[in-house]
Amino acid sequence: MAICDHCNEVNPDGNRLCMLCGAVLKDQSADNKAQPAQLYFEVKFGEKPGQRIPVNKKEMIIGRHEGQGDTVDIDLTDQESTDVFTISRRHARIIQKEDELFVEDLNSTNGTFVNVPEKLQPGMQQKIIPGDVIAFGDNIVLKLRAGDI
């Protein structure tokens, strides 16, 4: 898999040009193996759009922190307006399995959505790739990206 430096599109091995934007892809051969791009979430809709959140663990819990005992890896508390909370304390989790990334809803009240208006079923792991858009509840939308943070 080769990730375009210009548009972050994921391209199959062997492609010399990006399928989306046509940019020349870096040589991915064994002699000149590029370092894998850093995966991160960019807030597209929330109280702080543009914030970047690195994917830096094999498993990351997404939710909100309200006090002692609430432990999350990606805290979206400050992305919600103070009058309405749609993020559960333990809303979803991101799971990395080898070179693939998945999102799983943890039986949240307001749901987790990937690229479509249909809610993920609790416990179902949905594969995600750079460019995918994930909505948590009604107010927060993150986009998975690859590249420099």
Q: What percent of the chain has pLDDT over 90?
A: 51
Is the pLDDT confidence value at 96 over 50?
yes
The pLDDT score that the predictor gives to residue 11 is 81
The pLDDT score that the predictor gives to residue 98 is 84
What CA–CA distances, in Å, run from 136 to 29, 50, 148?
Answer: 38, 16, 24
Question: Which residues lie below 8 Å from residue 29, measured CB to CB, with a gap of 6+?
Answer: none
Q: What percent of the chain has pLDDT over 70?
A: 89
Whether the pTM exceeds 0.75: the reply is: no
First to last CA, the chain: 20
Is the pLDDT confidence value at 68 over 80?
no
The domains found in the chain, sorted by start residue, are 1-35 (no CATH), 37-146 (2.60.200.20)
Q: Which of 32-36, 55-59, 91-95, 129-133 has the weakest average pLDDT? A: 32-36
Is the pLDDT confidence value at 29 over 90?
no
Over residues 121-139, the mean pLDDT reads 92
